Amino acid sequence: MSANLNTTHARLDLGALKTACAACNLREICLPAGLSPEEIDKLDHLVYVRRKIKRGDALYRAGTTFEAIYAVRSGFFKTRVTTQDGRDQVTGFSMAGEILGMDGISHDEYTCDAIALEDSEICTIPYSQLEKLSIEVPSLQRHFHKVMSREIVRENGVMMLLGVMRAEERLAAFLLNLSQRLSARGYSPLEFNLRMTREEIGSYLGMKLETVSRSFSKFQADGLIAVDQKYIRLQDIDGLREIYAHHTR
Amino acid sequence: MSANLNTTHARLDLGALKTACAACNLREICLPAGLSPEEIDKLDHLVYVRRKIKRGDALYRAGTTFEAIYAVRSGFFKTRVTTQDGRDQVTGFSMAGEILGMDGISHDEYTCDAIALEDSEICTIPYSQLEKLSIEVPSLQRHFHKVMSREIVRENGVMMLLGVMRAEERLAAFLLNLSQRLSARGYSPLEFNLRMTREEIGSYLGMKLETVSRSFSKFQADGLIAVDQKYIRLQDIDGLREIYAHHTR
DNA sequence: CGCCAGGTTGACACTTTTCAAGCCGCGTGG
DNA sequence: CCACGCGGCTTGAAAAGTGTCAACCTGGCG
């Protein structure tokens, strides 16, 4: 049903939904980064359709056959892996310009779920066509490799978080990382609304939601941040950095 | 000095050190996997030089400019990232046929250290040439993407370990994973010698060496494994699997 | 208007770390 | 060839950090 609605919708205003990377304000951050205008033009000729994902819906799920990677056009996603017994681990949060689905390449099916945390729009990049175009456009190949490599490096960082840092350090790192990414997209680095619940933050950071909540309260008591539900204002960035850097167990 | 020695050595028996993927018994596991004989031949024409790394030496270090990825020909490596304040996190262990250095693509320098845990040999795959050959040989491009994607998936798994599992579950997962990889290389899945110290295992699994040691002792007391220093024999694989699957906090 | 998901906070339990002591095995040097 | 030293490992006891359980609050939505 939902699929039907989407299709209908896509037919109604196909023009509007067909993305033009060339006209997209994310092109410096997203997959086209570093491509010449002519090359971006070629990328635009790929089937590159925008699609809306409602809050709570999945962009893809673990086990689904892999056919495309996705660029977040607007909105916010989490990715998570789930064990046999139902516990799950949030492996990342993705915002505009970031690429999702690369986990699917290895075994031709996705290995995690990508869930929209707010109503979102994504651009679909069929993998087989990306492969073909990569042969024609070496700088696209190179940039795609960089995007994958960056994901590996990001995950190394998360392993560091989870492996050696304690609760408050993890949360400080998380806030600083969010701040930096928002800033890179033109939003205020000092105040923002969280899109995820305490539980999701906790899952990402390897701690329980109560611990997340307590750490927020502690930060607020210490004057580092102001918290009002999902709204966060960073009041003392250097203080946060100090906590983050202090992995002295 | 050491570099000099290596060079001299390489000159002495260049023939022997020049690897032929076509003749390598790892070709089904390593980068050439899935390529046709002719394609493997092209890969062989890449500068593809074998190099020895002594135990304790670095294959590369964080901050070094990135030029090549490496395939482990023999031996054993750890990769680790280090924080400003000197604490470090082991991000992985690599054995024969596995690929190292993909973290370097993103920013043209490596972001972690790769250290040999025993005397090892590696094959150097210059990245720029790999890029070029990928254009000629689409199946190489595809397979390289799979290798990178597999690394992303692997790291997702480690995040799961670190995020939701407790000490003994992590260690069970670690042993089962080693066992499976050794088995895939024709070694016994039931007994092996660890190449890393308790501290390195602990760093990888996000726990202290004492906790690693205690968990080993516990497993032994429960008849799951036999431990003698670095020698491990898995006596009750199903028991280990049960522990591993029991992430019921 | 009432319900409920999401969040906060407290008290207590439990796992893991920390600190400390001692052991073992291996390589080095006498 | 043996003694020594040292890195690596094990084990115990106490401390710390985080999880668990439970109660309660709040805001948004049907």
One domain, residues B105 and B169? no
Digit-coded pLDDT (tens) for A105-114: 999 999 999 9
A241 to chain B, any CB pair closer than 8 A? The answer is no
Distance from CA of B135 to the nearest CA of A (A): 5
Partners of residue B85 in chain A, C-beta under 8 Å? 245-248
The reply to whether B127 and B210 lie within a common domain is no
Select from A106, A152, A203 the Cβ nearest to the Cβ of B103.
A152
Q: What is the mean pLDDT of residues A14-25?
A: 72
Distance between B54 CA and the closest CA of chain A, angstroms: 25
Instruction: Give the pLDDT of residue B19.
Output: 67
C-beta of residue B207 within 8 angstroms of C-beta of residue B148: no
Strand C close to A45 by CB, under 7 A: no
Q: Name which of B102, B146, B158 is nearest A149 (Cβ-Cβ).
A: B102
Q: In chain B, what residues touch A246 (CB-CB under 8 Å)? A: 85
Q: Are residues A6 and A114 in the same domain?
A: yes
Least confident of A86-90, A168-172, B139-143, B192-196: A86-90
Strand C nucleotides, any atom under 7 Å to a protein CB = 6-11, 15-20, 25
In the numeric block, which tokens belong to residue A172? 């400080």
* Whole-number pLDDT of residue B45: 83
Decide if B63 contacts B110 (C-beta within 8 A): yes
Mean pLDDT of A83-108: 94
Shared domain check, A74 and A154: yes
A157:B112 CB<8 A? no
Residue B177's closest CA among B205, B198, B219, B200?
B205
* B119 CA to D1 C1' distance (Å): 29
The domain that holds B192 is classified in CATH as 1.10.10.10
Helices (H), A49-165: 127-136, 138-164
What does the buried/exposed string (b/e) look like for B199-221 if buried means 16 or more CB atoms within 10 Å of the residue's CB?
Answer: ebbbbbbbbeeebbeebbeebbe
Two structure tokens written together for A184: 């890179």
B179: CB partners within 8 A, 6+ apart: B189, B190, B192, B234, B237
Structural domains of chain B, count? 2
Pick from B23-37, B165-179, B200-214: least confident = B23-37
Q: In angstroms, rounded to a whole number, what is the distance separating the alpha carbons of residues A139 and A186?
A: 26
The answer to whether position B34 is within a domain reads yes
What tokens does A87 get?
Answer: 């516990």
What is residue A215's predicted lDDT score, i.e. its pLDDT? 98
Q: Please name which of A136, A140, A131 lies closest in space to residue A31, comparing C-alpha atoms.
A: A140
Residue with CA nearest C1' of nucleotide D10: B213
Task: Kindly state the average pLDDT of the residues A57-62.
Answer: 96
**Nearest nucleotide, CA B165 to C1':** C15
Predicted local confidence at residue A84, as pLDDT: 78
Structural contact between residues B135 and B128, judged by C-beta atoms closer than 8 angstroms: no
Contact between B121 and B53 (Cβ < 8 Å): yes
Asked if residues B229 and B223 have their Cβ atoms less than 8 Å apart, the reply is no
Look at residue B146 and tell me if it is in a domain.
no
- Which residue, among A79, A105, A154, A212, would best test binding to B if mutated, counting the most B CBs under 10 Å from its CB? A105
pLDDT digits (tens, 9 = 90+) for A126-146: 999 999 999 999 999 999 999
Whether residues A207 and A106 share a domain: the answer is no
Q: Do residues A85 and A185 both lie within one domain?
A: no
Q: Check whether residue B18 and residue B123 sit in a common domain.
A: yes
Mean pLDDT, chain B, rounded, equals 91
pLDDT value of position B132: 95
What range defines the domain where residue B34 resides?
Answer: 2-137
For chain A, the helix, strand and coil percentages under 3-state DSSP, each to the nearest 5: 45, 25, 30
Q: Say what percent of chain A tops pLDDT 70.
A: 90
Radius of gyration of chain A (CA): 19
* Protein-to-nucleotide distance from the CA of B211 to the C1' of D12, whole angstroms: 13
Say yes or no: Cβ of A118 under 7 A from any atom of strand C: no
Nucleotide nearest to A199 (CA to C1'): C6
Q: Is residue B6 part of a domain?
A: yes
Statement: the CB of B214 is under 7 Å from strand C: yes
Contact A81 B156 (CB under 8 A): yes
Q: Both tokens of residue B62?
A: 């964080």
pLDDT confidence of residue B33: 93
Judged on CB neighbours under 10 Å (0-12, 13-18, 19+), A79 is: buried
Q: Is A128 on the interface with B (CB under 8 A)?
A: no
Q: Specify the CATH number for the domain of residue B109.
A: 2.60.120.10
Closest-CA distance, B1 to chain A, in angstroms, reads: 32
| Per-residue tokens: A130 | 């990306």
What pLDDT sits at residue A86?
Answer: 80
Cβ of residue A102 closer than 8 Å to a chain B Cβ: yes
Backbone angles phi, psi at B148, to 5 degrees: -65, -45
Tell me the per-residue pLDDT of B116-145, one tens digit each, with 9 for 90 and over: 999 999 999 999 999 999 999 999 999 999
Are A128 and A145 in a shared domain?
A: yes
- My answer on whether A145 and A67 are in the same domain is yes
- Chain B within 8 Å of A145 (Cβ-Cβ)? yes
- The partner residue sitting opposite B149, judged by closest CB among A105, A157, A206, is A105
A242 touches chain B (CB under 8 A): no
Residue A246 has pLDDT above 80, yes or no: no
Task: Tell me which of A145, A160, A175 is where a domain ends.
Answer: A160
CB proximity A142 to B under 8 Å: yes
Residue B6 above 60 pLDDT?
no
What was the pLDDT predicted at B5? 40
Q: Is the CB of B179 under 7 A from strand C?
A: no
- Tens-place pLDDT, residues B45-59: 886 788 999 999 999
CB half-sphere exposure, B34, CA atoms < 13 A: 12
Q: How far is the CA of B158 from the C1' of C16 (A)?
A: 19
Contacting residues of B for A106, CB less than 8 Å apart: 146, 149-150, 152-153
Distances from the Cα of A209 to the Cαs of A202, A227, B39, B213, in angstroms? 5, 15, 52, 30
Is B158 a domain residue? Answer: no
Query: How confident is the model at residue B246, as a pLDDT?
Result: 77
Q: What is the tally of helices (H) and strands (E) in chain A? A: 9, 11
Q: Which of residues 176-215 of A touch B (CB under 8 A)?
A: 203-206
Same domain? A189 vs A145? no
Residue A137 and residue A32 in contact, taking contact as beta carbons nearer than 8 Å: no
Residues A140 and A71 in one domain: yes
Residues B124 and B81 in one domain: yes
Tens of pLDDT, residues B195-230: 999 999 999 999 999 999 999 999 999 999 999 999
